[in-house]
Structure 1
Amino acid sequence: MLSHSIDIADSLVFTDVNACIISANASFYNFTGATAESAEGKHLFDIGFSGWRNSGLRELVEKVLPRYGSFHDFQFDAEIPNLGRRRLSVSAHRVPGNKSGEWVTVMRISGLTADKKIDSKQRKATEHVVDSPDFLASILNSTRSGISNYSPVRDARGSITDFVITFTNAMLPASFGYNPEEVTGKNISEIYPQFFENGTFEKLSGCVSSGFPDLYESEIEFIGSSTWLRTSLVRFNDSVTATTEDITAEKKAKDHQENINKLLAGKNKELEKRIISEFSESFSSYKSGGSFFASLLSDLYARMRMEYMWLGEIVQNDDGKDMIRCLSVIKSGQPGETLTYEVLDNPTANVVKGKFYAVVENLQQEYPEIAFFREEGINGYAGYPLFDSKSNCIGVICILNKNSLYDLSYIQSMLKIAAKRGELELERMRNEKMLEEKNAELERNVKELESFNYIASHDLQEPLRKIQLFYSRIVELDKNSLSPTSLQYFKNIENAAQRMQKLIEALLSYSTASAVKLEYKKTDLNTILDEVRDDLADMIDSRGAVIEAGALPKISVIPYQFRQLLENIVSNGIKFTEKEKTPHIRITAEETSPDEGKGASFWKIDVTDEGIGFEQQYEQRIFQLFQRLHGKAEYAGTGIGLAICRKIIDNHKGFIKVKSEPGHGSTFSIFVPVHLKS
């Protein structure tokens, strides 16, 4: 059955998660009789329009939409002012808003005429197109996701007992050892018997019966191998179109992360038990963290009476040099000022090698370059290393004394006991921090993946719906020949599929940008830029673009990611330059210490263009997923490129800024730490 739009233009209304109207177009207000002043901020069903009363639409909006995120082509009859009774079709889906965690519902309402039956000529034309061996083959096989259509098989009572595989691309059959030709036209009970065991059959039946879309995850096994799939179902006439993606890698990554968290949590419990069992009675009252080390040194001072005592952990400064960051200092029995000092050329350099080290007397003669020893009259030094569970030296506990050291074996034993207590607490703190960082990273990744998977699932349906729409139009044409209009429809199908493929690839690139091992290599940015020029050669030649660059440094980066970063920004500079102008890109680099770096040294790489620019207020928005400042008709793109850039620079522990002015171009400033280690 086919439907056609009448004099009710497509109406669009945007609501928040509570179904309160944010805004709508003029068509919506015209046919509902409402106004923007009276409707905005009100609940969708409280604006005074009675046309959808008792239609079931409210139940869809309030119960189905929050659960599934969308519904499509819900039809009902409504009384429209000045038009009489009309059939309406409503589709809605939720998308992320501008603010983090915000969701907006986009609802489209169309007016429909009475259905028209397909005559025998049209039906024969339909069969001719469907039977064509290359019908939609390029479309179906252009995506990495599985796309299939299933028609129900009913018994004498009308109950669904099976499904026929009407069409499919290669993805899903390949998971079961088939190719599309082997499964098309056969029942799922024969090809995919697992569908009756993992709930998929019930999902397909439910979608056909209710008309509601569905999104679910399932596990399949074939020859000892397990695969996880995420499937989106949409009813089309009396069949179901399924879009399936392989999420096995995502599942494994999530399981791996959970195992790491369990390991870290268990490790902390083990450390806590060791601390309790090994601490003497005098240590049992200590608190955790910084106060622990203060109590430890105070107790040590009560037994040893040394002038200076401190416990510190090994850290690295911006130049990559080992430093001791004191966690607690005792001076003559009182808390002293903590400090950070370099390991090189002082007694601590011997301790961090992993062994007890002492200078019993004449410390000033041993280390004449250290003025502090002379000024304070220090003669004796002893230090003991702190180790983690893998026997790596992670810190030191040290003493200084004005008098020479006596009974060195006692001093060594006491420092050893204190070091043992200290290293357990220090590693517990490090593991706790690691656990918090891993959990925070996991939470961010899960939120991003959920957002990505929802959007990808939704956007995959759009080109499919276009395929179905153009196909419906084609079957109305003459059976023996295709008119120029029909050829244009086929062209539209091809364009929609290409757009779908580009969008999928861009989404996959975004989702995998952070799922890499962070291995930084010293890389010549001049070489990277040459590779970018090669990649963009066609674009550069077609626009006559000029790319100027000064001498660029060698810095530690993930080479292929940094290449993608520069390529995205340079290509944007060319793309967003007016067609009548020659694109001009300038790239410079310098070492700096920005305020955001908290005193650390960064390489600043500026990429400046002379393009159309934008208002500075949109500086953050342009780095968000799917955010565009210009329409697709003006400038092609997916709205993902700069979001990928931000994720890449996050992987490099840096940040990115942009300054822009409409009509005067933009400058993207990329900041990467000078000392970056894997």
Structure 2
Amino acid sequence: MNAVVTSVPTAWLQRIVDASLTGMVVYEAVHADGDESAITDLRLVLANEAAKADFPSDWFAQTLLETAPELVSTPFFAQLVAVLDEGTSCRFTYTTNHATNPRWFEVSAVNMEQQGVLSYQETTGQKRLEQQVDEYKHLIDNALAGISHFTSVRDDNGTIIDFRYKSYNKAAGAVTGLTADDVVGKGMLELFPEHKTSGFFDKWVELVETGASVRFQDRYKGEGYDFWFDTQAVAWKDGFIRSYIDITPIKTAELAQQRQAELLDSLITAAPMAVALYEAVRDAAGEIEDFVCVHVNQAAADALQFPIAELNGKRMTAINPRVKSSHAYEHYLHVTTTGEPLQFERQLGNQWFLVSMVKFGDGFVSASLDVTESRLYRQQLEAANQELLHSNDNLQQFAYVASHDLQEPLRKIRAFSDLIGERYGVELGAFGQDALQRMQSAAGRMSQLINDLLIYSRITTHRQPFAPVDLEQLLDEVLLDLDLRLAETGAVLERDQLPVVAGDSSQLRQLLHNLLTNALKFHPLHSPEHVPHIQIRCQRTETDGHGWYEISIIDNGIGFDDKYTDRIFQVFQRLHAQQLYPGTGVGLAICFRVVDSHGGTISATSQPGEGSTFLVRLPA
């Protein structure tokens, strides 16, 4: 059994309890039997009206252990016992243990005449408000948008001279690099003085003075930062709340796209070609029944003979009522439905246009270039080419006939001069024999010149279809033709393996023959000890992704001055006297034309007395 100590509150205590606006109760100790020092329970002995509304009525007839045994093992019970046991006072916050609807109380207890006087006030509403505020702060601080709260700073006349940061979330700090500790309590112009000159400060002043709300996109640029923000702000008391998101990447891309669009529009507008954008007009079944003009440049408007303002938004059939019966309309349908680009020539009146079309959205873009003049030039060129072919054919026939007719008198001159020499050589005397020899030599040179000119003229007009040509075999044939000359001069020949190339074998044979003949011919006269040394080298090279065979003919002859490099490949150009080094002056010109007709190049390098190198490059 527990011993209950029952006492009656004094009248003044009764009056204090009844007069309290907060809940107030008086409690006393319940001791263990035979042990007045051990408090094992508590009993309520007095309560005011406010407390009676909070406590069940049976709490005043029974002890705490009987009505709420779960409280006996809590700090709440221990603190109330300590007030009675030690004569002290205490103050604490008590929270009911309710999972979904807890309640908070501010509790104080004092010892008065061996009784505990407990007063309490429920703070649940305030606590929940504080929790909401904390939640809102957490939400704002972790929001993706930057949020700042400013209060006005006014002078003695009430004029706003600055705004002071009152709050500042993390997202705002991520933009400026400043934390809340860096800005809260400081002025906007103190941290960002450029806002005064940029117009932002005046915008915020107007916002506060009018009590309005604003939303805008603008650029914030200062020392060390350059951003675009989408900003929304509302006046709040004597200040404002501003929220904003960083749209710098979006705005940068948007501005870049805008610049590209402006550039494209400028290019289209200034383009000499007619550019037009059309969009399909479809019926209820989705079939294309027409096209509407979306955009044209001035060149297109001029070609269609309409002002630009009248063309935009106008149907194609209204621009040209007969368009559906044209081949061009079939092209429009094809490009729009298949997505395949097209290019074709189209006649409008007396003009011809080269039209290029590509699909764009549910329509197409066409670019038309006036090719009337180029078409006329092409026709004239084709006619001129036909005339040239006819002239070349006539010229070749003339060259062949002329060479034949010229060779016949020369043959007779040489035959009769030989006959005169045989029959009357002794009677002619020294002068007559010399004159006869000169005549025969001149006739021989004339015959060779006619042959060379005929070869030169036939290189491009009588070329055989290209076929694989073994240059190694051709070289063997040429050397066989020159074997007597090689033996007479005692020439030393070094050669690399030559490749197989695509070409005309007779022309390439002439090329090798002429180059080797020159290498044997141009050597010091009256120098038997000087032996011609000829090298034929070959290597494969790559230039700009194209393969080449480089064939070099290198000799140790008399050479020539490099300033004559271009001249030697021209017809009838000679660097040495005819009587010293006989020739027609056509041989290297033939070489140049042969190499050129095979898509190659020929060049020469030399110095007087140091020999010459002729480099032939043929496609591999």
Query: What TM-score bracket applies, with the shorter chain setting the length?
Result: 0.3 to 0.5
Structure number, greater radius of gyration: 2
TM-score when normalising by structure 1 = 0.34
